[in-house]
Structure 1
Amino acid sequence: MTTSSQQNQAPGPTTGADDELLVHGVDDEPVEANRRLYRHWLLWAVTLFAIAYSAFHLYTLNISPLETWSFRIVHVCGALILGYLLFSGAAFSEGRTPAGRRWTTLAAGVLLLPAVYALVQTGRMYEMVQGGAMRLPVELETWHFGWPLLAATGLGIMVSWFHRRDRARFSVPDLVLVICSIAVASYLLVVYNTPMRMTTGTSFAPLGISFAAVAGTALIMEMTRRVAGLALVAIALIFLGYVFAGPYLPGFLSYPGLSVQRFFSQVYTDAGVLGPTTAVSSTYIILFIIFAAFLQASKVGDYFVNFAFAAAGRSRGGPAKVSIFASGLMGMINGTSAGNVVSTGSLTIPLMKKVGYRKQTAGAVEAAASTGGQIMPPIMGAGAFIMAEITGIPYTEIAIAAIIPAILYFASVYFMVDLEAAKTGMRGMRSDELPSLKRLARQAYLFAPILILIVSLFMGYSVIRAGTLAMASAVVVSWLSPHKMGFRSILKALELSGIMSVQIIVVCACAGVIVGVISLTGVGARFSSLLLGVAETSQLLALIFAMGISVLLGMGMPTTAAYAVAASVVAPGLVKLGIDPLTAHFFVFYFAVVSAITPPVALASYAAAGISGANAMGTSVESFRIGLAAFIVPFMFFYNGALLMDAGVLDIARALMTALVGVYLLSCAVQGWLLRSQAATVVRLLLLVAAMMMIAGGLATDLGGVAFAVAAFLLQKKQASPGLAARV
């Protein structure tokens, strides 16, 4: 359980019985700056709620399913309750509450009255519906439920911004918001389980749905601000503004318009908040968060990082290569680039600086590697599950298609890191600085949960069943390791997964609001028309335009939300261009992912800069350079379907080999390093042309690329300085 003594400590060297390992603590639970750390009965209460929340999902997904909309409403409501219990809306006070801020407690005490009153009214409505009522009185829905709920929600959010308390104490304004969250869910559960559910989006829809949707949307956005920052909230507000400003806008942005009641009676349905993003977060994402928590409880993350050190630490620039492997493995499960930077980067970044990397480069390597984890099959940071939900393409097909693009991305980062190490003459780590590979190889059974997950999926098990089997195997495997999971450890894993799930669930719900705006206003279809118009001039220009929009929409947003929004706006237009749906969605997905390392808003790079002590913007530019291949790979599989496994075995093998050579040549051109010496400008240009031709994928372009590469190598060999080569 979380205690007030826990802090967000960086992983560090082990001592005692674990002194053969280099690092421990990678699996420790991070504590966010605005996270409350309770004591005594409050700690027990929140812990039990988090455990119950995770257990509810496991029970519902595997044993006794709920009606779909009801399940999603409870799913979102539970995350809001847990979020408002744990995450503060304002900075914590040091010691006693400032006298000037005590008014917030009094104000919140007053706001409890309308909040509780609105909740009580949902009980009255339930009794009326159970009694056979087909409609609810308008006065009851508006004056006795709607307006008290809106007043308590709106004012409660504003009061919470000024309410400062000690980190171990609960906030009365947040209690108001907890009650409002329950009231919203209670009303929707009452109404959506009657024929009144069919009236959403019409003039016959109960007014209470609109009131509940406005309050629910506000609660989701406020919790998103607390756990994910303002970027996604700002984008959501812009889209909401478009709903009502759209009729007055010129050109393709104009649309007939929606009334407040008609829009909000639909936004909290499967057209919006309860739509595909929440469908995925309530099934696949929550399940794999629980799976990740079980892996953390069994210390598999420590094993992954130590195994990466033992395997790659001796090579030049070893810690940077360790970062690539470790962050790829952890980021695949983690589900967020910035979160993975914080967990593994707190170890790898200082070690990279120790062997000679500039602090800016050290942070950039970690950011690029952690971002790559989001495109690493089989889990792909939950992005594959959202793609499967949106497109209807089987998950296994998506995971298989992702293999070669992921190889190309990580190969590119590896080449960039290796060439950087060669340029600066960096050493690897000594054997006495590293854990024993032989010893770690004997614990390879710790990879079993992930292998069981992969095998189960390809044997035809559902994603939920495969994830549950993998979770159970994590417990069994732990019994063979020093970190055996007993009943207390399982409860700890359930508690941890409940806390970890808050961010991704509210982010998906907030993204659902944006998706709802796009679908209800038709702006996605109008964007598709614009894209078709650009394609008439040049298909490549249309793809570049789509790339820019995908990156722009993804900036400052977690991967799942970034992809969900970009897929709603950009992917339909690409499909209308005649592009295969899988290719179109992969194209959008990759650019949504790399927005985490794209200046000027690069969340993963900023997180890495905070650890390395480098300039944030400089780190984002450097991580963009290191991850440059990720901006080329989507164009590669657009022009060459073999890279998405859409071809024969020989064609796939040739495409992979030539693309790898192209990525290597591109890395040499970017780093300006070839044959152990600095490359001249002419050589770099030849390498760049060769890389582009090799990447293109055709036989003629491959042969042309080989010719340019040979010319570059011969010229470099002729111009290379023997003295420089000797020094290297």
Structure 2
Amino acid sequence: MTASPNTPTQNEEKNHAASLIEEQTARALVDEGPRSGNQRDFTGPRNAIIACMCVAYTVFHLLVMNVYPLETWTYRLTHVGGGLFLGFLLFGATSMDAKGRTSGSLLANAILAIAGAAVLYGAVGVAAIWINGEVLGKALPPAWAMTSFGLPLAAGTALAIVHSWVFPHTNRSKFAPSDVLLAVAAVACTAYLIFFARQLQLRAGMPMALPGDMWAAVTGVLLIIELTRRLAGLALVFIAGVFVAYAFLGPWLPGIFEHRGYDAKRFFSYIFTDNGILGAPIAISSTYIVLFVVFAAFLQTTRVGEYFVNLAFAAAGHRRGGPAKVAIFASGLMGMINGTSAGNVVATGSLTIPMMKRVGYRPQTAASVEAAASTGGQIMPPIMGAGAFIMAEITGISYMEIVWAAIIPAILYFISIYFMVDLAAQKANMKGLPRDQLPKLGMLIRQIYLFTPIVVLIYALFAGYSVIRCGTLAMITAAVVSWLTPHRMGPRQLFHALDIGARMVLQLVAVCATAGIIVGVIALTGIGSRFSTVLLALADQSQILALFFAMIVSIVLGMGMPTTAAYAVAASVIAPGVVNLGVEPLVAHLFIFYFAVMSAITPPVALAAYAGSALAGSDPVKTSVESFRIGLAAFVVPYMFFFSPAMLLDGNWFEIAHVAITAIAGVYLLSCAVQGWFLGHAGRAVRAGLLVGGLTMIAGGWVTDAIGLGIAIILAVTQKKIVEARDLAHGAD
């Protein structure tokens, strides 16, 4: 018997895909922290303890930022130390090869026992120093504590790290003994540095620095490097190691790399100051990054963020190559609130990649489109990536000025990706998803109030409130708006949001601290200024050549480290030289930041593409190559705003409109050249002409724009005749 058109059975089948969209979106958005193969999977009391610690870490930051300010050094040290403590408890070292080795062997137990004794002795020494000063009120701590706690603490930390490498703890539901020791070491070294924070500011990097200062700093550096290895991979660790080695090997290096060298006491005590680890990257991660990561966690927990993805599906899912265009819209909307490339891939790609594969995209292409679209999240106002906050800190330019200037370049980026996807869909004659398998746009429009947190955030930013106040207001608004939905935020949901907020921020804490080590070496040795001098000499007073070098350095750095660290290092090494050539600081730093972001889709190490390939089951290298190709047209956008400051909203409205329109036309021509499609299949000669026409529109001048437009018109007429002749030939066959 056949069911009637209005039977519940058929209605359920018609709405199956729409339900699947909602389920997959919810599953993708409720993502508890960094996706890492070495994350512990605690249950029961252990999970409750960790969750409470994570909530306490988040609440501490929110209280300090909004209610009870702390002294800067103390706050930043607590931010780093707390992140290290939680990071080692949550993330094990199981990524190393453990074949043939067991954590319960005699050698493993011996190493663990020695490491434990050393770390505990150091921790007791720090505790004695603190009790003697804070509790007993004595001016001088015990001599044994000051002279002997440091070396055992550092040595025990090193042994515990080695033990975690060689004998990893494979039980993911329990704390690893070596990781517990590393967590204790993090508390001990942080407590010492906090206790002597004011004294350290006076004697750091000087002959008067004490051995205890050095050993506490050594311990902190070891812990930071190891946690970065676990959460961000070996590339950034290797680069940081090269810079640390450079601080000691300077006297034996040639040319501009030579310097007088530094002893361990001066170097390590200097590196744990606001010139190094506690500098701009950690200043930003302890404020803006924490705030907006928690804001994103609020949107995830209340499933307000789910609305963005559903709205994108309803608006674009039925169009040609629909799921790919959904990926662009959804990634842009999600990028406004999370500001990360790989995180954006995970949040939206868990849904869009399977849908793209369903309508005929190859897994590799689906992952590439999502990676290219998600990468734009870091340059998308109003939040952008963490690097934008660091830019404000380094340059002294207000964050709102940076956000305002980034609007047109960000829109151009997403338009270029849209053109690439649409042209590819035309070539492959792809269709969208049926409307009855998509969320209903009318129903979503009635829920437009779910955009209120974003509206509040944008309004508060442009009204002149501090960034911290804006983020806090948006967070509160997200919680209030959730009361109008079935996913109302109550005490349990609030606890969950604060918990996952801390878990999500840990990777950025480690990365920013490691970037601080590199920046500290650059400041201590002066290599940044010498490198800038060489850059000026090579560029021979040519701004465009200097910017080309800056592009190469930014992309290469970004291949080896996350965008935040890549920008921080490039801004220290390259930006001063570019600015000295007369390039405006905002233009120079936005240029470097833009290409540091683009490194997420640039082979051979393209982190966003790798995240997408993991979701799609495609080859990571091939995916990175294709994602680079999809984003290729966007690589000219920074040169556009260098030649045309009006693109950064520096000019009158007529100039801004002129530059924006011609830039869109230029990006379209470049996209057609890359895809080989212009009113039909384009041959090599037409593609070459499209490339020339697109590039002539970079400068934004009337003459060059007229040349580009003329080339486009000639090619359009020619291509139309070619396509018509080709169609007639096919019809005759």
Alignment TM-score > 0.5, same fold: yes
Aligned to 1:686: 689
Cα RMSD (Å):
2.3
Distance in 2 (alpha carbons) for counterparts of 1:221 and 1:613: 30
Per-residue CA deviations over 1:44-86 (Å, capped at 9, x if unaligned) read 1111100111011111111001100000000001111111111
Per-residue CA deviations over 1:598-655 (Å, capped at 9, x if unaligned) read 1111111112122222222111111111111332111111111011111111101110
Q: Is the 2:281–2:512 Cα contact (8 Å) retained in structure 1?
A: yes
Q: Which runs of 5+ in 1 are unaligned?
A: 1-12
**Is 1:344 equivalent to 2:348 in the alignment?**
yes
1:727/1:216 CA distance change after superposition, 3 Å: farther
Per-residue CA deviations over 1:169-218 (Å, capped at 9, x if unaligned) read 1111011101100111111011113x453011110112211111111011
**380, 385, 389: which one pairs with 1:381?**
385
**527, 536, 539: which one pairs with 1:535?**
539
Distance in 2 (alpha carbons) for counterparts of 1:384 and 1:541: 24
Query: How far does residue 164 in structure 1 lie from its aligned partner after superposition?
Result: 2.3
Q: Is the 1:687–1:708 Cα contact (8 Å) retained in structure 2?
A: yes
- Once structures 1 and 2 are overlaid, which stretch shifts more, 310-319 or 527-536? 527-536
**Is 1:179 equivalent to 2:184 in the alignment?**
yes
Aligned to 1:456: 460
Per-residue CA deviations over 1:117-140 (Å, capped at 9, x if unaligned) read 212212332345457777767764
Query: Which SS does the other structure have where 1:350 is aligned?
Result: helix
Distance in 1 (alpha carbons) for counterparts of 2:164 and 2:270: 28
Aligned amino acid, residue 472 of structure 2 = T
Number of residue-to-residue matches in the alignment: 712
- Once structures 1 and 2 are overlaid, which stretch shifts more, 555-564 or 395-404? 555-564
**83, 87, 91: which one pairs with 2:91?**
87
Distance in 1 (alpha carbons) for counterparts of 2:208 and 2:36: 45
Aligned to 2:29: 27
**183, 190, 195: which one pairs with 1:190?**
195
Per-residue CA deviations over 1:311-360 (Å, capped at 9, x if unaligned) read 01111000000001111222333333122212221221121122122222
Q: Is the 1:556–1:596 Cα contact (8 Å) retained in structure 2?
A: no
Q: Is the 2:228–2:510 Cα contact (8 Å) retained in structure 1?
A: yes
Aligned amino acid, residue 288 of structure 1 = F
Aligned to 2:79: 75
Distance in 2 (alpha carbons) for counterparts of 1:537 and 1:52: 53
Aligned to 2:451: 447
Aligned amino acid, residue 702 of structure 1 = D
**422, 428, 435: which one pairs with 1:431?**
435
1:101/1:371 CA distance change after superposition, 3 Å: farther
1:483/1:308 CA distance change after superposition, 3 Å: same
Q: Is the 1:532–1:577 Cα contact (8 Å) retained in structure 2?
A: yes
Aligned to 2:710: 707
Distance in 2 (alpha carbons) for counterparts of 1:612 and 1:448: 33
**Is 1:493 equivalent to 2:497 in the alignment?**
yes
**561, 564, 581: which one pairs with 1:557?**
561
- Once structures 1 and 2 are overlaid, which stretch shifts more, 649-658 or 17-26? 17-26
Aligned to 2:151: 147
- Once structures 1 and 2 are overlaid, which stretch shifts more, 101-110 or 534-543? 101-110
**Is 1:329 equivalent to 2:329 in the alignment?**
no
- Once structures 1 and 2 are overlaid, which stretch shifts more, 665-674 or 334-343? 334-343
1:14/1:568 CA distance change after superposition, 3 Å: farther
Q: Is the 2:17–2:437 Cα contact (8 Å) retained in structure 1?
A: no
Query: Which SS does the other structure have where 1:26 is aligned?
Result: helix
Q: Is the 1:14–1:23 Cα contact (8 Å) retained in structure 2?
A: no
Aligned to 2:644: 640
Distance in 1 (alpha carbons) for counterparts of 2:358 and 2:168: 43
Query: Which SS does the other structure have where 1:426 is aligned?
Result: coil
Q: Is the 2:16–2:437 Cα contact (8 Å) retained in structure 1?
A: no
Q: Is the 2:294–2:497 Cα contact (8 Å) retained in structure 1?
A: yes
Per-residue CA deviations over 1:680-716 (Å, capped at 9, x if unaligned) read 2221121111111112211111111111111111211
Q: Is the 1:14–1:21 Cα contact (8 Å) retained in structure 2?
A: no
**Is 1:296 equivalent to 2:300 in the alignment?**
yes
Distance in 1 (alpha carbons) for counterparts of 2:139 and 2:228: 36
Distance in 2 (alpha carbons) for counterparts of 1:251 and 1:209: 33
1:127/1:660 CA distance change after superposition, 3 Å: same
1:335/1:226 CA distance change after superposition, 3 Å: farther
**Is 1:466 equivalent to 2:479 in the alignment?**
no
**Is 1:475 equivalent to 2:479 in the alignment?**
yes
Q: Which runs of 5+ in 2 are unaligned?
A: 1-13
1:688/1:277 CA distance change after superposition, 3 Å: same
Query: How far does residue 591 in structure 1 lie from its aligned partner after superposition?
Result: 0.8
Distance in 2 (alpha carbons) for counterparts of 1:620 and 1:251: 36
Distance in 2 (alpha carbons) for counterparts of 1:469 and 1:363: 35
**Is 1:163 equivalent to 2:168 in the alignment?**
yes
Distance in 2 (alpha carbons) for counterparts of 1:579 and 1:255: 29
Aligned to 2:61: 57
Distance in 2 (alpha carbons) for counterparts of 1:122 and 1:632: 54
Distance in 1 (alpha carbons) for counterparts of 2:60 and 2:234: 30
Distance in 2 (alpha carbons) for counterparts of 1:458 and 1:17: 37
With structure 1 as the length reference, what TM-score do the two structures score?
A: 0.94
With structure 2 as the length reference, what TM-score do the two structures score?
A: 0.93
Aligned to 2:11: none
1:189/1:636 CA distance change after superposition, 3 Å: same
Aligned amino acid, residue 698 of structure 1 = G
Aligned amino acid, residue 236 of structure 1 = A
**Is 1:211 equivalent to 2:231 in the alignment?**
no
- Once structures 1 and 2 are overlaid, which stretch shifts more, 394-403 or 98-107? 98-107
Query: Which SS does the other structure have where 1:245 is aligned?
Result: helix
Aligned to 1:411: 415
Query: How far does residue 718 in structure 1 lie from its aligned partner after superposition?
Result: 2.1
1:102/1:324 CA distance change after superposition, 3 Å: farther
Q: Is the 1:328–1:376 Cα contact (8 Å) retained in structure 2?
A: yes
1:99/1:567 CA distance change after superposition, 3 Å: closer
Distance in 2 (alpha carbons) for counterparts of 1:598 and 1:660: 23
Query: Which SS does the other structure have where 2:697 is aligned?
Result: helix
Distance in 1 (alpha carbons) for counterparts of 2:503 and 2:533: 42
Q: Is the 1:91–1:164 Cα contact (8 Å) retained in structure 2?
A: no
Give the percent of matched residue pairs that are identical in Structure 1 and Structure 2.
Answer: 54
Aligned to 2:203: 199
- Once structures 1 and 2 are overlaid, which stretch shifts more, 30-39 or 584-593? 30-39
Aligned to 1:275: 279
Q: Is the 1:400–1:645 Cα contact (8 Å) retained in structure 2?
A: yes
Aligned amino acid, residue 227 of structure 1 = L
Distance in 2 (alpha carbons) for counterparts of 1:726 and 1:399: 53
Q: Is the 2:298–2:475 Cα contact (8 Å) retained in structure 1?
A: yes
Per-residue CA deviations over 1:6-41 (Å, capped at 9, x if unaligned) read xxxxxxx99799679474322122553111111221
| Map 1:592-603 → 2, pairs under 5 A | 592-603=596-607
1:537/1:276 CA distance change after superposition, 3 Å: closer
**699, 715, 720: which one pairs with 1:717?**
720
Distance in 2 (alpha carbons) for counterparts of 1:105 and 1:49: 28
Distance in 2 (alpha carbons) for counterparts of 1:110 and 1:430: 65
Q: Is the 2:543–2:583 Cα contact (8 Å) retained in structure 1?
A: no
Distance in 2 (alpha carbons) for counterparts of 1:70 and 1:548: 37
Query: How far does residue 538 in structure 1 lie from its aligned partner after superposition?
Result: 3.6
Aligned amino acid, residue 203 of structure 2 = T
Query: Which SS does the other structure have where 2:273 is aligned?
Result: coil
1:374/1:326 CA distance change after superposition, 3 Å: same
Aligned amino acid, residue 367 of structure 1 = A
Q: Is the 1:598–1:620 Cα contact (8 Å) retained in structure 2?
A: yes
